[in-house]
Amino acid sequence: MAKPKRVYQSWKGNNKFLLDGRLIFGPDAKSLIITFTLILVPVVIFCVFVASNLAHKFTTGSIGYAILVLAVVFTIYVLFLLLSTSTKDPGIVPRNSHPPEDVSGYDSSASIDVGKPLPLTKEIIVNGLPVRVKYCETCMLYRPPRCSHCSVCNNCVERFDHHCPWVGQCIGKRNYRCFFLFVSSTALLCVYVFSMSALYLKLLVDDYGTAWKAIKVSPASVALMAYCFVSLWFVGGLTGFHLYLISRNQTTYENFRHRRLRGDNRINVYYRGCMNSFVEVFCSKIEPSKNNFRGYIHEGASKTSKGGNIQVTEVDISDEDRRVKVEDDLEIGDDLMKISQRRNSQDIGDIRGRGSDRSPISRSELDFGFGLESQFSYRSESRHSGW
C-alpha cells in the first residue's frame, strides 16, 4: 500500500517548501539571496575596515569593541527577522475541494447540468449593515474579511498586505509583525553604520588635518555612508509608511484601493483608535497556521467550516477584537461619480436605512467604505508589487 502524500507535496499554490514542509516560501524565494547580500556585505565591510579600527581610537578599549559587537548582534537580529518573515505561513486560507453548497438561492447539483456559476458575491449582515464578500474561483470559497488572493503565490491570504519580492513571501496576518520589525530594524542598522562611519571619518580628519587625507585612509567609510544614506531612503520611508498604516489600522493593499477609488472621506470600519491599532499589531497573539503542511492527505477528507450564507475556512473572529471585518467585491470606478456627489456629512444611520433598498447595480458609499480589498475585476487578479 502506497504511503499517503503529505499536504505540502500536493500543495496547489506556488509556494516552495523546505525541511519536509516545516518552512514555507514564496515562488520568488531566490530573491532572499540578494536581500541577504545587501545586508551582510556592508556590515562585513564595516566590521573589518571601520569598527575594528575605530576600537583603537578610544582610550577605553571596551567602548570601541562594544561598537563592533553591537553591529554583529544587531545584524544577526535583522537576519533572524528576515527569515521569520520569509519562512512563516502568512495566513493562507485552506482551499475547498469543491464549491460551497450552502449558498442561498443556488442549487449546486442543478448547476452541473446547466452550467450555472456560483454568485460572484454574497451579501452578509455585519453589525446590522449589509456588506458583500467575494467568491474566489481558484480556492472555491467566499473570502474571509480582509482577505485577498495573491496572484504570485496563488493563495488567499488573510489580512493581505502585499507580496514582497525582497523577502520572497506574502505579507499577511501571521507575518506582518515580523515584516515591520525587519524593515524598521534594517533602517536602524543603516543609521548605526552611517553614524559610526561618520564618527570614524571625523576622527581621521582630526588626526590628518584634511578631509581628503582622511578619505584616502578610509575610503570604506565614505562608501558605507553613501550606501546607508541611499538605503535609508528606502527602508526608512517604508518604516514611516507602515507606521502610518498601523495607526489607521489599514493594509498596504487597502491604502492602494483607497487612493485608486479616491475615497479619502469613506468610513474605515477597521479603525478602532490609534492606540488600539498598535496594540493589535504588536501585542496580540499570533494565531496558529490553519494549514498542517506536514499532515497526510486522506481522500475524501474535507476540512471546512460554514457559517451563515458564506463558507469560511476556519476563520476565527474573536469577540475581544470587536472590529467589523468585511470585504467588498466592487470593481474600480463603479459609480464613482455618484459616490463623490454624496454629502460627506451623511451619517451611518441613514445608510443603514437604505441598506435593504439597495439594488445590485446602484451601490452605496457604505459598500466602498467596507470593501477596501476589492479586485480590479473578478476574473483577473491584480499582481501586487513588493515594498
Contacts of 269 (CB under 8 A, 6+ apart): 323, 324, 326, 369, 370
C-alpha cell of 163?
507580496
CA angle 135–138–139, rounded 5-degree value = 70
- Reported in sequence order, the residue ranges of the chain that DSSP labels E, i.e. its strands, are 16-18, 23-25, 121-126, 129-136, 141-142, 148-150, 155-157, 162-164, 169-171, 305-307, 310-312
The residue count of the chain comes to 387
Round to whole Å and give the CA distance between 30 and 86. Answer: 11
Long-range Cβ contacts of 164-167 (<8 Å, 24+ apart): 164/386, 164/387, 165/28, 165/31, 165/385, 165/386, 166/31, 166/34, 166/35, 166/386, 166/387, 167/31, 167/32, 167/35, 167/82, 167/85, 167/86, 167/386
Instruction: Answer yes or no: 156 catalytic.
Output: no
DSSP state of 273: -
Q: Is 131 within 8 Å of 121 (Cβ atoms)?
A: no
Choice among 150, 153, 164, 170 that is catalytic: 164
Residue with cell 507575518: 175
H/E run at residue 220 = helix 219-247
333-to-141, 147, 213 alpha-carbon distances in Å: 25, 21, 61
- Determine the Cα–Cα distance for residues 229 and 36; give it in Å rounded to an integer: 18
> What are the cell numbers at 193?
553604520
Identify whether the C-beta of residue 13 lies closer than 8 Å to the C-beta of residue 24: no
Q: Of 355, 347, 313, nearest to 124 (Cα)?
A: 355
Catalytic residues: 164
